[in-house]
Amino acid sequence: MHRKIIPYENISAVASSKAITQAEEILSQGWVRRGHIALDLYSPMPWKLENENVRSWNYHLHCWEMIDSLLKAYSLTEDTRYLTPSIGIALDWIKHNEGDKQVISPFAWYDMSVGMRSYRLAYIIDASEKSKLLSVSERDVLWACLLEHDRYLMDDKNISFHNNHGYYQVAGQIAMARRFASRFSDFLLTHNTATKRLKIILDQQFAPDGIHREHSPDYHRMVYTTLRALIDAGLVEDEEVHRFAIEIENALSWFVLPNKRIANFGDSDYRSMERGPRAASTMWRSEEMRYLVTDGEIGTAPKELYKVFDQGGYFVVRHPSTDAPTDLSRASYLAQIAAFHSRTHKHADDLSFIWSDRGADLLVDAGRYGYVGKTAQGSDLWLDGHWYSDPNRVYCESTRAHNTLEFNGTNNLRKGVKPYGSAITRHNISDGIFSVETECKLFQSIRRARVLVFKPAEWLLVFDWFHDNYKEAHDVRQWFHLAPNLDLEITDDGYQINISSSSTPLQVASLLGDASPSRLYIGEEEPKQGWWSGKEKEWLPNYAFCYELKGKMTGSFATLFSFSKGLSARRDLSRINSSGRNGRFAWETDDATHSLEVTRTDGGRLSVVYAKV
């Protein structure tokens, strides 16, 4: 009688319906990841890190990601065609990683590699024992390697509790240990240790409002889907963790753009979240998330129009189109990142934001580009907070690549400064207008605040203020970056953005007279400006522009974006108070005269009064 084994843990959350298809493709065509050449699993494995440009790919090799679908397929079918090459790769890895573990690659015993590899190794041993595919000596080699993984993971010094690497280490450790806990007391101890660690790491990784603290919605998605896979596999029994998982998914739903892609703040690719009803039902528990990723085919439309993540540090507005309320692609979407929790995946993007409206992405984040090139310790890049040295990657992290203020052509500091957590101070929602104030301290002496005032599908005001407590003067630029498919031209009073999905262009003007508009930037190299990356190593030119103040100790910007065929800034009627933090603004469009008053009250409120005649 065959012994039943625990099914392979689907930690990578790939649908079971796809596992066999993917496994067959890997066996016949090789394993492919993100544009690299196909890897034949029966050829010698390129375990050695040949150069810094293949760091990410080499890391995934040492996780044994190439056999993930094979192990899933075997778990579903018990067809040894899928298990046999997996055994061969495991034995080959062990053969090439005896002795000095750092000779072949720094990723051989990299923290996250060990966690992801450990549960795959455990399943190979368990499944191979049942199918009798191992010789005694092969079983001994694999078992000795598993015990080495267990020793590594049981040592707290090897666990990256401070970031998502530790999370994946513990996820793998739980799956590995659970497989043998009923037969071996040492693995029962490992399982109990890993379960306690999981709660500790979740508390560190996520704010109480469900936001992942690594400044990147795509990492939020990735960590959550792994947590959901652990729960679905029966690896997490704690009801408190189950409830918090729902909170995490609800938070994630706010980062689905109208085009069903994920908001690509920080180290997030411009990933499609779109799924069919069947896949969405399996993957997601939230009715709102199911609705958003299936274009309303299943689930329930979100009832809330905005969300303030006071602890996580985001402000998001999602407002249905008045003309087509059921057409998700036409919704207005504004999201601001106002968080600095650690250096992990943190770009120099303080108080930046993105905006989609009228069926198009308008203002975008730079993207990730990729983890390419390792920064030399002690170098200028290293001191500036960069982990990676590729020039395109450096640009994506830079302040000038985001919709924010840049001081003196330098990046906002990330290394050697205390993270401020959430920068959200106050907000106001009234008469269909959404506003939020955020504030942080930069370069030890500069206070800067931003107020976004947003009337969905009509206009957006970006009101910035700064003051240097050391009374030093600065050259300051207020940068904006357009989606790559948009056209930009200079007008008499600012700029005009032409949008194919809207019959009305988007006009841009400064409502204050001090700020000077820049020329247009697109696809420039020295210095880099006007670039966007939607996925690994994608590099597309996009328009950028800025308003600039020179030699200012204290200053304000008030830039208006208005959907209108004409826009005239009434700078004669627009003024700010002596502190620069409260303002009255006026402008004219082709059909109306507009006035807006923005006030921070003594009681800590943000007051916004708008009139249109």
Residue whose token pair is 């919704």: 331
The whole-angstrom separation of Cα 355 and Cα 336 is 9
- What are the residues facing 525 on neighbouring strands? 528
| pLDDT single digits (tens) 3-25 | 688 999 988 877 777 899 999 99
pLDDT > 70: percent of the chain = 99
The whole-angstrom separation of Cα 126 and Cα 133 is 11
* Element spanning 24, H or E: helix 16-29
Q: Tell whether the model's pLDDT for residue 100 goes beyond 70.
A: no
Per residue in 440-467, is it b (16+ CB within 10 Å) or e — as a string?
A: bebbeebebbbbbbbbbbbbbbbbbbbb
Neighbour-count burial of 519, counting CB atoms closer than 10 A to its CB (0-12 exposed, 13-18 middle, 19+ buried): exposed
**Side chain identity at residue 557, one-letter code:** F
pLDDT at 3: 63
The whole-angstrom separation of Cα 421 and Cα 512 is 31
Q: Token pair for residue 598?
A: 């923005």
pLDDT at 99: 61
Q: Tell whether the model's pLDDT for residue 1 goes beyond 50.
A: no
Q: Tell whether the model's pLDDT for residue 579 goes beyond 90.
A: no
Q: Token pair for residue 211?
A: 């936001």
Kindly report the backbone phi and psi dihedral angles of residue 306, in degrees, each rounded to the nearest multiple of 5, phi listed first: -155, 165
Determine what percent of the chain falls in helix, strand and coil, rounding each to the nearest 5.
30, 25, 40
Torsion of CA 409, 511, 520, 497, to 10 degrees: 130
Instruction: Name the pairing type of β-strands 353-357 and 593-600.
Output: unpaired
Q: Token pair for residue 58?
A: 């080499």
Q: Where are the alpha helices (DSSP H) in 132-184?
A: 136-154, 164-180
Residue 556 CA: distances (Å) to CA of 381, 466, 516, 559, 600? 30, 7, 12, 10, 15
The whole-angstrom separation of Cα 212 and Cα 225 is 12
The whole-angstrom separation of Cα 452 and Cα 454 is 6
Kindly report the backbone phi and psi dihedral angles of residue 397, in degrees, each rounded to the nearest multiple of 5, phi listed first: -80, -20
| pLDDT single digits (tens) 166-204 | 999 999 999 999 999 989 999 999 999 999 999 999 999
Neighbours of 259 (CB within 10 A): 17
| pLDDT single digits (tens) 132-171 | 999 999 999 999 999 999 999 999 999 999 888 999 999 9
Q: Tell whether the model's pLDDT for residue 103 goes beyond 80.
A: no
The whole-angstrom separation of Cα 284 and Cα 245 is 11
The whole-angstrom separation of Cα 55 and Cα 46 is 12
Q: Tell whether the model's pLDDT for residue 102 goes beyond 60.
A: no
pLDDT at 12: 83
**Side chain identity at residue 579, one-letter code:** S
Mean pLDDT of 306-331: 96
Give the contacts of 173 (CB within 8 A, at least 6 positions apart). Answer: 115, 118, 119, 153, 190, 193, 194, 197
Mean pLDDT of 373-378: 92
Residue 486 banded pLDDT, cuts 50, 70, 90: very high
In terms of pLDDT, which residue wins out, 561 or 279?
Answer: 561
Mean pLDDT, all residues of the chain: 94
Residue 465 banded pLDDT, cuts 50, 70, 90: very high
pLDDT at 523: 98
Give the contacts of 527 (CB within 8 A, at least 6 positions apart). Answer: 400
| pLDDT single digits (tens) 416-463 | 999 999 999 999 999 999 999 999 999 999 999 999 999 999 999 999
Q: Are 368 and 264 in contact (CB under 8 A)?
A: yes
Mean pLDDT of 552-565: 96
